[in-house]
Chains A and B, each alone.
Chain A
């Protein structure tokens, strides 16, 4: 029943916004910073405000009926205070600035962490923010940072949802609100596949994959059968009751991976992207240099977080 009513109300609001964009201010996305002003702050009494108004009316009629001027004065005082609280609710939002939105990198399916930077010239208390069904309360003392979690489903550019900033400060009788629709999108990276084969590399690459003894002496270890006699550390073994062998560090084969979209013909588009994303992640984790060939774009060899982000971004925006 309750949920049905809410759905009905939502549908009515959506319809009203479609039909009367000027009235309901279905705001087009706008660039940051967004500063709230009187043209975009709306105020209505809350349910408690309506109830309190009814109570004031009862008190007014009572005071008038009993010709009780002291009670009448008090009723007027409460009414005037309630009216003043409406102005204070407006003042809480007026001049509030959403100066910046920062977003972390995230792969599709994980929650996106948004950081909203609010600023205001004077203290704002009890500001609340609705985003995706979640309500947060905060105070802005000069500046305030607010972290939001935004669920993601698919890769690519994701627009930020409309955000409602509202307040019922100070008495909870009036609710002032304003819609924010920042023109900012965040890039959601593709989700890597869970497991799969390593990349198929050119033949010369395979040659370098064979283990080779390194040059640097890393440690001494116990003799095992098959160790070359020239590796035995004779001097050290003399002070020990077993034979010790010089162990040489064999560096990982750090060959470069050149990842190619066109090499994965057998897979469909999203599976290709997921595999490439996994390989990019592995390459970055293993400290390799890697390049990425995509239809229409080639990213040359490189490594490091910036390079990784560039590659993942290119994957994310693939059509």
Chain B
């Protein structure tokens, strides 16, 4: 078609470029900076060249650029398939498309591609904010597509271009929601789930100070917990994730042992609760204190760590019962030695201290624990998120030189001391605390609530939780991570009122997670059951979906097909005046012409006499005078009638 071969006008190109920029910006958090920044720059350069230099990008340049892009992606990721390399490639191709966009046809293809890239951004982050941002990101492509139609009325201001797109999306929303509810879900994925990079923080199965600091400043939600009864008090809100047994002098690691029955536990009652876990790309499922059984799709390991069968790639809901008062593994048996492991040749002073306690307190393990806690409490230790770096003998340096650190340091040092004194001990990582959202009745636990503590085995009591951090800084346990951090160490977004605002706002995220992200085949069935539809297999759903779409289209057609009889504007104006006069007590009688009626009204309302007579003349002139009323005179009459006062003049 001829119109498709003509060059784009400035407005269309601007809108297309804007659509590309927004798609790229929404994609940017998932792109490496060395790709994102040059791509944005390329768009800017291209826009500037076309607008002010009126030059095109030579076609010869495109092939080398494409080769460069593919090479860069392959060099970084190894291939071009998969979600992350695919996204990087798509973003690059998007920009290459803009380089050659000169005709409406190019622009249309580009806009389709933009929509696709926008959707791909949601594969990384499907929070409410991201979804809204992407939905708004649809406006520039829609506006650009509109601007490609020749013979339209282009608005002068750029922002007015968004309005029709918003209207279109608003009209489309009901049908979209219905389709969303009824689309049959796949029972199993057609191809592999996305293997997203591990760049997202979360608890890892090994504990190093550096990794933990990163975690403590990441305040994205980690899990949301709703309890069947009342929530446990803050001091009991310990969510166990990993039990770490092995220490190599620098880091603690979790050793997963499958095919062993969980350690025996004696517990009376459990707390039932439901956790919705944000994606962690790991298999561990944190649970409150000591889980009694594993949820479906997961298994309980020997040390009562809950490990899921598959990595948690999307939001995962699970319900567990846990005990907070219990006796775990009263008999340690042959595992005794495992909990006393220490690397050889590290931390001699620490080991000496532990051994000296054993000599001092004899067999009283509880006294040794108390001695260690007393050391932390009274030994001049300081809680800080930015401790001084430690050397090779990390625990020696920490205990005897720097004496500052956060939970990881205290848990680690305490466990090493206990093991040196011959008490079986281990490091537990997980979350502690959280924010109780009273409106939503759930506990919000952020990544910054990550915590490390210890468990020691005492004869007759089994494994007992000891939190050495509480000895140094009790607020960390009772008030939470944010309150415990010394002033000035927290990022700006975790400060005071802002944090509280964010905590309240989280209820919206939870609602979004539960209502939208957590909507699955099961909920679909629950939704349809009240309507008498019990079978929700694919064919039933497809039929329902087709019926709904047809119905929606019929409603749309009814709206489109209805014809309003074009009312005579002059007569409508007179009718408005009549209504006003009725309120003033002068009603038009049957068979009374407009002239007689308005003259009678003028006589009855002397205060408005002049005005009414003028209106009458105008009306008669418009209605019977010229063949066709001019728009201005009609507008004048309408305005005069609108301004006609209804209030009675009080005399």
The chain A residues found within 8 Å of chain B, CB to CB, are 38, 48, 51-52, 55, 58-81, 83-85, 87-88, 90-91, 94-95, 121, 123, 125-128, 135-139, 141, 167-172
Contacts and interface: CB of A to CB of B under 8 A. Distances in A.
A87 B168 contact: no
B112 interface: yes
A126 B116 CA distance: 27
A35 to B, nearest CB: 10
Contact of A38 (B112, B146, B168, B561): B561
Nearest to B516: A69
Nearest to B137: A74
A141 B67 CA distance: 50
B29 to A, nearest CB: 15
Contact of B168 (A48, A51, A75, A85): A85
Interface stretch (B183-191, B359-367, B491-499, B597-605): B183-191
21 contacts: A51-B112, A62-B119, A64-B183, A66-B194, A67-B185, A67-B520, A69-B516, A71-B123, A71-B126, A74-B135, A81-B138, A84-B168, A84-B171, A87-B560, A121-B566, A126-B150, A126-B151, A128-B151, A169-B146, A169-B152, A172-B108
Nearest to A75: B119
B80 interface: no
Closest 8 CB pairs of A and B: A137-B151, A80-B172, A70-B126, A137-B150, A126-B149, A80-B175, A81-B172, A76-B176
A281 to B, nearest CB: 37
A166 B172 CA distance: 24
A71 B119 contact: yes
Nearest to A56: B115
Contact of A126 (B108, B122, B152, B561): B152
Nearest to B108: A48
The B contact surface, by secondary structure, is: helix
Given A83-B175, A87-B556, A74 B131 contact: yes
A169 B189 contact: no
Given A77-B176, A172-B108, 9 more contacts: A65-B186, A67-B186, A69-B516, A73-B177, A74-B118, A74-B135, A87-B559, A127-B151, A170-B146
What bracket does the count of chain B residues touching chain A fall in? 35 or more
Contact of A77 (B1, B135, B194): B135
Given A65-B189, A128-B150, A76 B168 contact: no
Interface in B360-413: none
B482 interface: no
A69 B151 contact: no
Contact of A168 (B126, B149, B172): B149
A66 B83 CA distance: 11
Contacts of B174: 80
Nearest to A38: B561
Contact of B190 (A38, A65, A88): A65
Contacts of B563: 95
A65 B193 CA distance: 8
B23 to A, nearest CB: 13
Given A58-B116, A85-B168, A171-B142, A72 B151 contact: no
B520 A80 contact: no
Contacts of B186: 64-65, 67
A70 B173 CA distance: 14
Contact of B115 (A55, A62, A168, A172): A55
Interface centre among A71, A88, A168 (most CB of B within 10 A): A71
B130 interface: yes
A73 B153 CA distance: 31
Contact of B151 (A51, A79, A90, A138): A138
B91 interface: no
Contacts of A51: 109, 112
Contacts of B171: 81, 84
B142 A81 contact: yes
A127 B151 CA distance: 7
B153 A141 contact: yes
A75 to B, nearest CB: 6
A77 B185 contact: no
Contacts of B138: 74, 77-78, 81
A167 B112 CA distance: 20
Given A55-B115, A170-B146, A74 B151 contact: no
Interface in B89-139: 104, 108-109, 112, 115-116, 118-119, 122-123, 126, 130-131, 134-135, 138
A83 B516 contact: no
Contacts of B193: 66
Contact of A137 (B3, B518, B560): B3
Contacts of A137: 3, 149-151
Contact of A123 (B153, B194, B552): B153
B505 interface: no
Contacts of A60: 183
Nearest to B131: A70
A127 B518 CA distance: 45
A73 B131 contact: yes
Contacts of A127: 151
Interface string B62-102: 00000000000000000000000000000000000000000
Contacts of A76: 175-177, 179-180, 183
A169 B146 CA distance: 7
A85 B164 CA distance: 11
A144 B146 CA distance: 21
Interface string B501-530: 000000000000000111110000000000
Contact of A83 (B134, B149, B519, B553): B553
B423 interface: no
Q: Which of B135, B176, B552, B563 has the most CB atoms of chain A within a 10 A radius of its CB?
A: B176
B146 A171 contact: yes
Nearest to A123: B153
B173 A125 contact: no
